């Protein structure tokens, strides 16, 4: 998994980063969007981050415009939206692609590590019922899919987009990783 921790990433302010720079922390990586029905999940993600950051937990937000153009803004517009609307203080990254031919290598590694999302709820059926074509598995299904990374950089869980940050399954998985010290 060294590749996962050394992949070059760019923060939303343009500064360079890697997952390795967050070593020793439990990470929840989430592809986010500002104009999605799931956008209110930002509030839950921020609350989760605030409640657990002192224990060595971080949420890392990766804006993506892969699903019905629901993240059309520039990095500066996204940063402003997140700050003003949801008071986001967790690390945000530059907009990337999480699906298809232009998928960022980070998401290729995440999907390769865990091809199935846990807890897939009614989201897929709801979208398909509206005639919206879904990505075939194992691709990222939609905005707000979540990947949990252990302190040692291993991908340990994947949660469907409609599983909110305060869902007991996510909280239990994070707490289990944090308990490993």
Report CA-CA distances (Å) from 100 to 45, 74, 89, 106, 144.
Answer: 26, 20, 29, 13, 17
Is 82 among the catalytic positions?
A: no
Per-residue H/E/C for 109-162 = HHHHHCCCCECCCCHHHHHHHCCCCCCCCCCCCCCCCEEEECCCCCEEEEECCC
Q: Indicate the DSSP class of residue 103.
A: -
Annotated active-site residue in 36, 134, 171, 178: 36
Q: Indicate the DSSP class of residue 133.
A: P
Report the C-alpha gap between 83 and 163 in whole angstroms.
23
The string of DSSP letters for 162-181 reads: TS-TT-HHHHHHHHHHHHT-
Q: Which residue has the tokens 């921790």?
A: 5
Active site residues: 36
């Amino acid at each position: 998994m060294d590749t996962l921790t050394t992949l070059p990433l760019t923060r939303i302010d343009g500064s360079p980063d890697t997952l390795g720079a967050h070593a020793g922390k439990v990470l929840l990586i989430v592809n986010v969007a500002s104009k999605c029905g799931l956008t209110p999940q930002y509030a839950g993600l921020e609350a989760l981050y605030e409640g657990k950051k002192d224990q060595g937990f971080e949420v890392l937000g990766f804006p993506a415009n892969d699903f019905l153009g629901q993240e059309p803004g520039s990095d500066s517009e996204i940063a402003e939206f997140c700050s003003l609307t949801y008071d986001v203080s967790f690390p945000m990254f530059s907009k990337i692609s999480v699906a298809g031919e232009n998928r960022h290598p980070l998401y290729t590694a995440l999907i390769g590590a865990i091809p199935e999302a846990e807890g897939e709820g009614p989201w897929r059926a709801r979208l398909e019922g509206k005639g919206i074509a879904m990505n075939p598995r194992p691709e990222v299904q939609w905005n707000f899919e979540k990947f949990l990374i252990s302190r040692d950089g291993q991908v340990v869980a994947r949660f469907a987009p409609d599983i909110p940050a305060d869902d007991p399954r996510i909280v239990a998985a994070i707490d289990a990783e944090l308990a490993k010290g």
